[in-house]
Structure formats: C-alpha cells, structure tokens
Amino acid sequence: MNREYQKWHSPRLARDMELLIFGHAGQPAVVFPTSGGRFFEFEDHGMIAALADKIEAGKLQVFCVDSVDNESWYNKQAHPRRRIMRHIEYEGYILNEVLPLVKHRIPTQRPVAAGCSFGGYHAVNLSMRHPDVFAGFLSMSGAFDLTRFLGGYYDRDCYYHLPTHYLPRLEDRSYLDRFQKNTHILTSGWDDQCLAQNQNLDRILSEKGIGHQFYVWQAQNSHDWPTWQRMAQLLSVGSQRPIL
C-alpha cells in the first residue's frame, strides 16, 4: 500500500502541520482525528487496515490530517472567543492548504470528510458548511453538542460552526440543493455516549429534507475503535452513493 508522510509550516496556523496519505487513486477522503488526536491515530487504531482492500484496489485514497483541538475547543486556558477563532483558523488550513493538495492528486473528484467522535463533528461541520467542496460525510459516533466548551459564551461565529444550531434555520436554496447531490452518513451505537446527539442531528436533517442515512450499531462499547472499524467497512456497501 502506498503510504506518504507530509509536513509543512502552515501560515494560517503559524505552526508545523503533519498528515499521512494512504493509497494511490480513487475517491479521496479527508479523515479527522478524535478529540485532541493526531494524524497517525487512524492508522494506529486499525482503521487503515480495515479499509486496506479498497485502498490497495485504487478505490479510495485517505488523507489523515492533524488537529488543533487542544488549542481551540479543548483549550480551557483560553477565552472562548479565542477558542472559536483558533477553530476558524484550522478550517482555513483545511480549505486552503490541505484541499489544494487533495485536488492536485485527484482533480476529478471532490473529497468526502470522515471522522470518529470529535472527528465526526469536523467532518459534518466542514461538509455542511462547504457542500460545493466536499461530496459529503461519514460521521462515526460524532459529537455535536459543543456549547459545553464555551462556558456560556456565544457569538455569530459559534452559531455558524455548530451544525445543530445553523442547520435548523438554513433556508438558502443554494446550500439545500447542493446537499441533495452529496452523501451524508451518520453512525452511532446503542450504548454510545453520543447516541442522543446523533439522533438529534438525524432529526434535524430529516426535518430539513436533507438526504442522509443513519445507522445505530448493536454493539457493546460502541464508542470505540473496533466498532468504528466495522462502521467504516460496512457503510461502504450500505450507502446509496458509496463514499468509503
């Protein structure tokens, strides 16, 4: 399997950022780590191995990015305004530094966004905010109730980066029409600590008429890597418009 490591100094984040690329062709997928996780955890926890047949067959190319969650949402030492601004800087890094690399390698296909737990939040938020750039998302046990990180603080930027806040009020047809061309997959588990948050997002998407699939896994300790490995594999055949 083709495996590449890349690192550069991000002018938007003012720090070095790293990523791993797996595969040589196929549908591009930008994968976000769990809360405070690193670019190598998807490989370390067996997710790349679970997708190896698709990667080696040239059906999938995975871009595992790093995070700055400990400098944004999880940075308890910073004022909430600074936390959301750091998150916005991270979005700029993904859109203006990572995605040009993806497009250079695979110019004919838009990437999908994927992630587990807090990575699921990033996948959903970025793909819903930029449906013309991303072809959809696969969120595995995503966490979407982020107001707990803000300590009561709230502003316009917080609103526009919380999908469960901005989606219910979204009326822009240019967004709603683009959503219909994309694939949106939510997964969770019956004992998942994030099940209620996924059920809430499922309800919101349904009420807005945004096409998606929602799967609840019958597995114990479902908010963990062994279940996420199964989610990544099985949803590749469960989607009407496969992305993984």
Residue 171 tokens read as 């009326």
Taking alpha carbons only, the member of 108, 103, 109, 122 closest to residue 39 is 122
> Is the per-residue pLDDT at 141 higher than 60?
yes
User: Contact, 137 vs 54, CB < 8 A?
Assistant: no
> Is the per-residue pLDDT at 22 higher than 70?
yes
Q: Which residues contact 5 (CB under 8 A, 6 or more apart)?
A: 18, 19, 20, 21
Distances (CA, A) of 195 to 17, 61, 215, 218, 235: 32, 29, 10, 12, 17
Which pTM was predicted?
Answer: 0.95
Flag the least confident range among 22-26, 213-217, 237-241: 237-241
Task: Tell me which CATH homologous superfamily contains domain 3-237.
Answer: Alpha/Beta hydrolase fold, catalytic domain (3.40.50.1820)
Instruction: Quick: pLDDT tens for 98-113.
Output: 999 999 999 999 999 9
Q: Show the DSSP H helices in 98-217 as ranges.
A: 99-105, 118-129, 156-159, 163-166, 173-179, 195-207
Q: Identify the pLDDT of residue 140.
A: 96
Q: Identify the pLDDT of residue 236.
A: 55
Instruction: Quick: pLDDT tens for 65-88.
Output: 999 999 999 999 999 999 999 999
Q: Identify the pLDDT of residue 237.
A: 39
Instruction: Quick: pLDDT tens for 146-159.
Output: 999 999 999 999 99
Domain boundaries, the chain: 3-237
Q: Identify the pLDDT of residue 100.
A: 98
